[in-house]
Amino acid sequence: QVQLVESGGGSVQAGGSLRLSCAASGSTYSGHCMAWFRQAPGKEREGVAGIYTGGISTWYADSVKGRFTISQDKPKNTVYLQMNSLKPEDTGTYYCAGSGAVCVYDLAPRAYSDWGQGTQVTVSS
């Protein structure tokens, strides 16, 4: 059974940076997709960034392009989300997700089958 464990959340001021980590255990997503999502109170879960673990393809939500970077460390089965120039609207619970199916290079939650428990990110103005 796959387990995804996020870490690295915290509280920062606007303009600051955080790096989130997602460690996968029990299986790997080699050749599939992994992604980061976030959910603010009272809002729907939205995709932030995705990565194809079998290559170098990445994709981002328009709201984070140029500020966030998703990357992977294959030997460690870990995916990272580097978040720079953080804004108050980036506040939310950030979730790591993995797809056991063919990668569709998408940020729709339905494309991902496995989810972590989430890590809180709070950005103050």
Question: Is the pLDDT higher at 31 or at 48?
Answer: 48
* Gap between the Cα atoms of 100 and 113, Å rounded: 7
Taking the CA atoms of the chain, what radius of gyration do you get in angstroms? 13
Give the three-class secondary structure for 71.
Answer: strand
Tell me which residue of 30, 26, 33, 22 sits closest to 103, measured CA to CA.
33
φ and ψ at 36, to 5 degrees? -115, 135
* Gap between the Cα atoms of 77 and 92, Å rounded: 24
Range of weakest confidence among 41-50, 104-113, 114-123 = 104-113
Q: Can you give the pLDDT at residue 35?
A: 97
| Pairing mode, strands 78-83 and 119-124 | unpaired
Q: Are 81 and 68 in contact (CB under 8 A)?
A: yes
Q: What is the pLDDT of residues 34-53, one digit of tens each?
A: 999 999 999 999 999 999 98
32 — pLDDT class (breaks 50, 70, 90): confident
Q: Can you give the pLDDT at residue 54?
A: 87
Report whether pLDDT(64) > 90: yes
Report the percentage of the chain scoring pLDDT > 70.
Answer: 100
* Gap between the Cα atoms of 58 and 77, Å rounded: 17
Range of weakest confidence among 5-9, 54-58, 99-103, 112-116 = 99-103
